Structure 1
Amino acid sequence: MRFSSALFRRACVPVLSLGLLSIGLAVPAANADTEPSTPAVDAPKSEASAVAEATATAQDVVVDAATSPTSKTTAHPDGTLSTTISNEPVRMKTGEGWTDISTDLVHATVDGVSVLKPENVPVDITVGKGGTSEIASLDDKKGHSITQSWPFGTLPVPVVEGNSATYRQVLPGVDLIQLVHKAGISQVLKIETAEAARDPRVAEMRIFLDSENLVVAQGADGELTGKGTDSGDVELHNTGGLWWDSSAQGATATDPGGQGVSRPFELSLRSEAGKQAQVFGMDEILDTAGLTFPVYVDPDWTFKQPSYVFVDTAYPGTSYWNGNLTDGRMHVGYLPTYWAPDGRTHLARSYFQFDTSYIVGKDILAARLNTVETWSSSCTPANVASWVTGDIGPGTTWNVQPGLIMQTDMGAVAKGYSTACPAGSVGFDLMAAKSILLNKTKWNVMLAAGNESDPLGWKKFQNTADITVTHNVAPNIPVFQSISDGRWFGTPWTDGSRIYTRDKTPSFTVQASDPDSYDGGTLTVQMSVWKNGVWQGADGNFSGVSPGGANVTWQDSPALADGSYTLRAIAKDKWGLTSPLMAVDFTVDTTAPSTPKITPITAPQATVPSYPNGVIGETLFSFKLSSTDAANKADGYIFAIQEGTAAAIYPADLLNCSHTRVREFVVVCPGYGQDTTITITALDEYTSLTVWAFDDAGNIAMPIKGAPAHVKFSVPALQTLPNTQTDFLELELSGAEWIPAKDITTSQCADGKPINAGTTADVLNFPTTGTYADTKAKAGSTVRRAIDPGDGFSVAAWVCPKTTTGLQPLISQLANSSTIAAALRFDGGTYHLGSRLSTGIEERVSTAQLAAGQWTYVTAVYDNINAQLRITTANANQVGDWTIAASPNATHVGTDATQPVRLGQGFAGQIYRPVMTQRVLSEASFGTIQTQYGTTRGLLK
């Protein structure tokens, strides 16, 4: 068959801190959330259900199931969706569901201690409220924590505003400003005057660190890391100390101002008073000529998360990955030496990275990058270009930049210079690179100055950005459902399987659906038939097809000649997006194979095959079935075994290689043109074997090619029941009773005693449904069973039920105290034989409806060789034919010799001459066995 952020940046304003500590989570940002404390009552809204609700209500609906810390998808009434993806987490999951992250400080009590905490962040952060030396503590809720403390006494009560806590005059002329972020905290040391800078405590600035399940160490390059003692991974990462002065206009504790840039200084570790101390290389700062106070000092700890980076010619080998050595802003454009506080020429470009795995496979209708411009060199707009680039990473520097793939937009902007052009949002269209961005799990977008030699092009942007992508998913590939009069050869949808049809103008049914468009009437479907790549002159076009999964049926015309073809189908949505092409091969075949040939393998002894030494139900007879037409051979054969000499009548068009048994009809599929051998046994004195040949299209070698193949053979009936093989098991009565047949009145059974019951015969009477009788073991023996139902057996009795209500067991071979292995029963006017499989399923064959209060002779067999269950009945008014049910080649429940046969228990009425024997008996044999009874009371086995 062919078918065809830094995860946790310095808030929304630059965080220029004495020590930003970000306890890193051990999962990517997209999963860095807090699990709900209680399970949600309703399942998250799926994309399909959200689109359905949006189109029904004409309102946008959020796709809850697609929400993550960095991504949010909304379904629109027109059937499209928009996904907004941030380069860092913007929400987290709580017990109440998804909540926006908030770093605003609120009062809280932790272990009886009053502290400040951010309102809603993914990690556990506490900020000291003064009166102690504790600065802050951070815990990732996974066993890794660190606590900072002030080495110069107690801290004053802070002034709290938003996410900041300012401790004034922690040393003369020095303020400590703490700023809480999404997974960390910054401490900005503000040194107000040169006199304050000369304080020895400032010159030897340090902070004590107390860690749990973390080892804080210094690398050869001066980098500080906190590695988990359990995980062995770096959970905290120090990207280096930063500082800036107030030489640029507008410098604050959170921003070096206008054209200001931050500069690095060294950090180191040492032990002091039994504690680990983070030591600041203050000499580098305080020895700088021409400082403009106040000076801000900020070493930076952060959790590594791929989201942004900028590159700068002033430091061409330096990585600014996720804010490393930056003030939290992204730089773009040209900054000449005479403007730069560090006296260097800068040319910068900024990159953002987004996890776009959710929109892989979607058809993009619109895509836009949005961020905030925080500063420009003037209010005169200068061009900024957006580019799609290769991947960025920790190794991205000016010297090692990703390749530029395509420019997508150019816009002249100027925001953040003054109140005349305040900071604000800017956006860049990404659609020019649609073909490049499709199916990418990460998008990398660069912002660069339109003119990289123009000083007015120097700009700063937030290190947070998002992309909004409006998308639509192509319709699903149509699903083949059926072809009229179609049949499979082989296992459907596997290599080598084929579909055949006898219909020259077949009808085809396919199912069309669209995973993201549920507003109804949005799909069109086209079907066509091709042969060897050539269109066959007709196709079916359907519009207004419901995209929720609708079946479309098309009848091909004109008629197709015998041969192989391909059905093609496509679906298109209202946006013009087309599904993949469905291509299903099929074959038209209207020619039946010829009548097969039957060859007896066991040589017969007469023209009409006769086997005088055979035994009905036991002797095996083998026949070879073969094709007789070399040009049109059979793929399989259907045969039927029935008593008598007449050929069987074909059971209608319902058998194939996947549907192998119905009643006496059996399918064998040896493969195209191959012979096969079947082994059967006789059903009666005369047995007929009827065989049809068929092909994979379902063409039968009859009536198109004439009569089916038919043979009959004979086996002497009486030889099946030698008298020496009969035996009786006596019965142990539990409420049942023996009564003379002559005493049975018409009030008990409408027709009195059973047919041919003599005046001395006894009948087993069951006065109520709770009475029964079990077979007993003979003296010196433990054998109580009559049969092992795993092999072929027969059961018979004259039965007269009082009522036709409910299930009434008559003769049951027990497997154990709670399981019946095989049973003859009366059920609502129908006699049936049931035999239990080892799987627990019971196979059954039933007769037609009969009346209560009437004697009926019931005979039934399980023919394990021919895999049939058979049952028939006779009474004073009629003699029935065998009713046959197929029995698969499965294991039937067996039983050990100590298990009894139970008569009754649930049955009310009479049973006369019960039989259960390990033989497959014919009609004549059942009659013969009745003569073995005489006046004996018991079960004949």
Structure 2
Amino acid sequence: MAAIAGALLAGVIQPVVFAAPALAAPAVGAASGSVVQKTAETESAAIQAAESSDSNVEITSLRSESGEVYATPDGQLEAVQHLKPVRTRDDGGWKTVDNTLVKHADGSVAPQAAAVGLEFSGGGSGPLATLERAGRKLSFTWPTALPTPVLDGDSALYKDVLPDVDLKVRSATDGFSELLVVNTADAAKNPELAELKLKIDSPGLDLKSTDEGGLEAVDEAAGGIVFQAPKPIMWDSGQPATGARTLSAQDEADAAGGEDGPGDASNVAPIGVAVSNDGSQLSLTPDQGLLTSSDTTFPVYIDPQTYTPKAGEWTMVSKYWASSPQWRFNGDSDAGVGYCGWDYCAPYDTKRLFFKFPTSRFAGKSIVSATFVGHETWSASCDGRSVQLWRTKSFSSSTTWNSSDDNWLDLLDSRDVAKGYSSSCPGGDVEFDASAGVKYAASHNSSYTSFGLRAGTETDKYGWKRFSDDAYLRVKYNAPPKQLSMKQLSMNPGATCHKPGSKVRVRSLPKVMASDVKDPDGDQVSVQFSLWWDAGSGFKPQWTSAKIGPKKSGSDFSSQLAEQITSTKKIPKDTTLAWYARVQDYDEGKYYSYSPWSGAGSATGCYFVWDTSVPHGPTITSGDYPAADDSNPDDPAYDGVGRYGTFTVDASDTDVTRYQYGVNEDASSDNVVTTSGGAAKTISFRPTRSGTNFVNVQAFDSAGNGSEPSSYQFRVKAG
């Protein structure tokens, strides 16, 4: 019972967090042989470091409790997503999870570094266990005073809380488990085991039992689940059936139940759970049939699980226990896959495993590859047998064999392996191609994706295997280019990108330009332009250019519009026109993702009218800052930020009396140079930014009639 409460708590304790990252891959220092973490704080810095070092570099700003992201030498990103937290926040930094229990000065017991606030009793009448998350606490108190615990690693043992009944609590990665160990048949007859009542203290939480027989602690103010626990179970130390075959030590261990969870031959039964109306008491009712049956092998273990919703989840389903959930492998660190027709499995059974990972970070990304890595701990022999990876439907703490028969959606990969039977084929990782599953998640914006393992042949006892609960996803992906901003778009003539309400009129068809086009991963980029007008069936695209490029990230692109825009279409005069641009990234001979078109969302196209009655725009030249040439991949930058440059402006019309100009903005009356007869004039200014700059100039006559705006593009050094 106590175990149930503890297990419940353990589950309840887990905090809800996006996957936490694993530690960065270490590199061995050449000089001293010391281990050095290859890390960089930002994505751009990590990409550069990965390329120069020819090794993965972790992006520390993207770390989380159960995941990490690396820049790879080929310019991609690779995410590792664990099922469980591998680190926790500590004094503003990250610390590796360490469940080792230590005694504090006040006598309480707590783990060295847990993913949630967790404290156990040091003995006495105080709470057995207290969980804390997001400012909410949940405490469970044993009915009687507790003895001083014996600490052993992540566990604390309270001896003889009832005659010949021990209570053991264990700090788990995302919570804690509470295990009541009934050592003998005589101990099982104790009437106090008929029902155990634990005091609960849960300020601000609404603790209630679920329809599936578990527990939920809901934040009364925010409404979210803070702690939860599946339906608790109990099991015996069931031994394998006797037979002619001699069982190995591993066979015996897998067959017999123990503190880590039920074995393949264990008898298993559910535990009843009830919460008092005022939420102050939890009642746990062990199965009396299992406690008193002549077929029961002692010790019997009573173990409810509790946890906080966190990174991932996992469960097993059993054909023999077809209506019983086996959530989180019933607290065991591994579970079986396939048909167990061996003596140590009696009753013979077929099992399947499910794993759930958060995949929201991959939404909209181009998935290059994805690998599901499962750790095989046991095989029936060293002769390889097929095990399959599937994309499945989601699952919950109530999922069973009977309820999951139609969960299997897409077969992703199959591996013929055998690991763990003996030293000839030791346990180890098995890698499955999960690319199709993660690509589905990316294209459907899936917050979570579930996978399943099952034997290729579920009637072959040599296909029996066990896999651990530390599976993880390794995903290499490409981030799509970002949408071009309107500030990155310009035209000559026409100057900046104008919204519909302020469309510009130009005498000549313009060159349309996109500047400083980048890819977040540093890949090469290409650009497409599109021109829209209403040809009688609505305002829509009438022409889209071929891809221009690829060029290095940060390049400029342009396309000169011509009247005969296609073989069958001409650009109309005196008509509202608009142009757009989008980016596609390119790496190692392959195009990946498009950005949205530049007019997506709250942005608009760049609107103009081709009006041949508008006066010609002035010409602009400069010896200090020569015109940029985006067709030249080695187009140089000149002079530097903060250094004066002189630009000459000249008009072909003799009635021009003034020039207005703007630097990286439209020409305005704030910047005026007077002239007469359209004579050339010079303007001087100091560029304030490196990279591509623009000076936009418009000529006016004495009546205030303006020319088409001219735009001069030039490149500036950083300093």
TM-score of the pair, normalised by structure 1 = 0.53
1:352 match: 355
2:98 match: 102
Q: Does 1:465 align with 2:471?
A: yes
1:523 match: 524
1:78 match: 74
Q: Does 1:92 align with 2:94?
A: no
- Give secondary structure in 1 for the equivalent of 2:657: coil
2:367 match: 364
Counterpart residue identity of residue 573, structure 1: Y
Q: Does 1:446 align with 2:449?
A: no
2:646 match: none
CA distance in structure 1 between the partners assigned to 2:459 and 2:302 by the alignment: 31
1:146 match: 139
Alpha carbons 1:527, 1:554 under 8 Å: kept: no
In structure 2, do the counterparts of structure 1 residues 655 and 77 end up closer, same or farther at CA, with 3 Å as the change threshold?
closer
1:54 match: 50
CA distance in structure 2 between the partners assigned to 1:175 and 1:126 by the alignment: 19
Q: Write out per-residue CA displacement over residues 613-665 of structure 1, whole angstroms, 9 at most, x where no aligned residue.
A: xxxxxxxxxxxxxxxxxxxxxxxxxxxxxxxxxxx952255489975757799
CA distance in structure 2 between the partners assigned to 1:557 and 1:204 by the alignment: 89
Equivalent residue in structure 1 for 2:612, among 587, 591, 607:
591
1:296 match: 301
1:411 match: 415
CA distance in structure 1 between the partners assigned to 2:515 and 2:70 by the alignment: 27
Deviates more, 1:435-444 or 1:462-471: 435-444
Q: Does 1:691 align with 2:679?
A: no
CA distance in structure 2 between the partners assigned to 1:270 and 1:481 by the alignment: 63
In structure 2, do the counterparts of structure 1 residues 45 and 180 end up closer, same or farther at CA, with 3 Å as the change threshold?
same
Counterpart residue identity of residue 84, structure 2: E
Q: Does 1:427 align with 2:431?
A: yes
CA RMSD of aligned residues (A): 4.6
- Give secondary structure in 2 for the equivalent of 1:24: helix
Matches within 5 A, 1:111-510: 113-130=106-123, 135-140=128-133, 142-149=135-142, 151=144, 154-158=146-150, 160-171=151-162, 173-200=164-191, 203-204=193-194, 206=196, 208-213=198-203, 214=205, 216=207, 223-226=214-217, 235-246=226-237, 247-248=239-240, 249-250=252-253, 251=256, 253-256=258-261, 259-260=264-265, 263-268=268-273, 276=281, 278-304=283-309, 307-322=313-328, 327=332, 329-335=334-340, 340=345, 343=347, 346-393=349-396, 396-401=399-404, 403-417=407-421, 421-433=425-437, 435-439=439-443, 440-441=445-446, 442-476=448-482, 481-486=489-494, 492-495=497-500, 498=503, 501-503=506-508, 507-510=511-514
1:574 match: 587
CA distance in structure 1 between the partners assigned to 2:184 and 2:369 by the alignment: 53
In structure 2, do the counterparts of structure 1 residues 332 and 539 end up closer, same or farther at CA, with 3 Å as the change threshold?
closer
Alpha carbons 2:234, 2:269 under 8 Å: kept: yes
CA distance in structure 2 between the partners assigned to 1:592 and 1:252 by the alignment: 91
Q: Write out per-residue CA displacement over residues 473-500 of structure 1, whole angstroms, 9 at most, x where no aligned residue.
A: 2344566533322257xxx453476565
Counterpart residue identity of residue 240, structure 1: K
CA distance in structure 1 between the partners assigned to 2:160 and 2:69 by the alignment: 48
Deviates more, 1:100-109 or 1:137-146: 137-146
CA distance in structure 1 between the partners assigned to 2:141 and 2:102 by the alignment: 20
Q: Does 1:28 align with 2:16?
A: yes
Counterpart residue identity of residue 117, structure 1: A
How far is the alpha carbon of 1:146 from its aligned partner?
0.7
In structure 2, do the counterparts of structure 1 residues 473 and 500 end up closer, same or farther at CA, with 3 Å as the change threshold?
farther
In structure 2, do the counterparts of structure 1 residues 177 and 409 end up closer, same or farther at CA, with 3 Å as the change threshold?
same
CA distance in structure 1 between the partners assigned to 2:341 and 2:379 by the alignment: 14
Structure 2: stretches of 5+ with no match in the other structure = 22-39, 241-251, 536-540, 599-604, 617-653, 675-700, 711-719
In structure 2, do the counterparts of structure 1 residues 394 and 495 end up closer, same or farther at CA, with 3 Å as the change threshold?
farther
Matches within 5 A, 1:814-829: none
CA distance in structure 1 between the partners assigned to 2:228 and 2:397 by the alignment: 13
Matches within 5 A, 1:895-910: none
Counterpart residue identity of residue 411, structure 1: R
How far is the alpha carbon of 1:124 from its aligned partner?
2.4
CA distance in structure 2 between the partners assigned to 1:529 and 1:135 by the alignment: 68
In structure 2, do the counterparts of structure 1 residues 578 and 278 end up closer, same or farther at CA, with 3 Å as the change threshold?
closer
CA distance in structure 1 between the partners assigned to 2:483 and 2:284 by the alignment: 64
CA distance in structure 1 between the partners assigned to 2:87 and 2:580 by the alignment: 49
In structure 2, do the counterparts of structure 1 residues 529 and 195 end up closer, same or farther at CA, with 3 Å as the change threshold?
closer
- Give secondary structure in 2 for the equivalent of 1:651: strand
CA distance in structure 1 between the partners assigned to 2:135 and 2:341 by the alignment: 47
Q: Write out per-residue CA displacement over residues 144-181 of structure 1, whole angstroms, 9 at most, x where no aligned residue.
A: 22133263x542541x3321223445555444332111
Alpha carbons 1:18, 1:297 under 8 Å: kept: no
Alpha carbons 2:235, 2:262 under 8 Å: kept: no
Counterpart residue identity of residue 373, structure 2: N
- Give secondary structure in 2 for the equivalent of 1:155: coil
CA distance in structure 2 between the partners assigned to 1:594 and 1:132 by the alignment: 93
How far is the alpha carbon of 1:100 from its aligned partner?
2.0
User: Identity over the aligned pairs, expressed in percent?
Assistant: 23
CA distance in structure 1 between the partners assigned to 2:512 and 2:436 by the alignment: 41
CA distance in structure 1 between the partners assigned to 2:322 and 2:357 by the alignment: 24
- Give secondary structure in 2 for the equivalent of 1:22: helix
Counterpart residue identity of residue 118, structure 2: I
1:833 match: none
CA distance in structure 1 between the partners assigned to 2:581 and 2:212 by the alignment: 64
Alpha carbons 1:108, 1:114 under 8 Å: kept: yes
Counterpart residue identity of residue 457, structure 2: N
Structure 1: stretches of 5+ with no match in the other structure = 1-14, 34-43, 596-647, 666-688, 699-941
Deviates more, 1:464-473 or 1:476-485: 476-485
Q: How many residues were matched structurally?
A: 581
Matches within 5 A, 1:851-866: none
How far is the alpha carbon of 1:314 from its aligned partner?
3.4
- Give secondary structure in 2 for the equivalent of 1:474: coil
CA distance in structure 2 between the partners assigned to 1:258 and 1:379 by the alignment: 22
How far is the alpha carbon of 1:373 from its aligned partner?
2.6
CA distance in structure 2 between the partners assigned to 1:586 and 1:227 by the alignment: 53
Matches within 5 A, 1:705-716: none
Alpha carbons 1:483, 1:501 under 8 Å: kept: no
In structure 2, do the counterparts of structure 1 residues 499 and 433 end up closer, same or farther at CA, with 3 Å as the change threshold?
farther
Alpha carbons 2:389, 2:432 under 8 Å: kept: yes
CA distance in structure 2 between the partners assigned to 1:16 and 1:59 by the alignment: 47
How far is the alpha carbon of 1:187 from its aligned partner?
2.5
Counterpart residue identity of residue 574, structure 1: D
CA distance in structure 2 between the partners assigned to 1:22 and 1:378 by the alignment: 36
In structure 2, do the counterparts of structure 1 residues 253 and 368 end up closer, same or farther at CA, with 3 Å as the change threshold?
same
How far is the alpha carbon of 1:450 from its aligned partner?
0.8
Larger Rg: 1
CA distance in structure 2 between the partners assigned to 1:16 and 1:259 by the alignment: 21
CA distance in structure 2 between the partners assigned to 1:194 and 1:165 by the alignment: 24
Deviates more, 1:578-587 or 1:349-358: 578-587
Q: Write out per-residue CA displacement over residues 536-591 of structure 1, whole angstroms, 9 at most, x where no aligned residue.
A: 9x989656x441x3324566799999747868675542232255386877879573
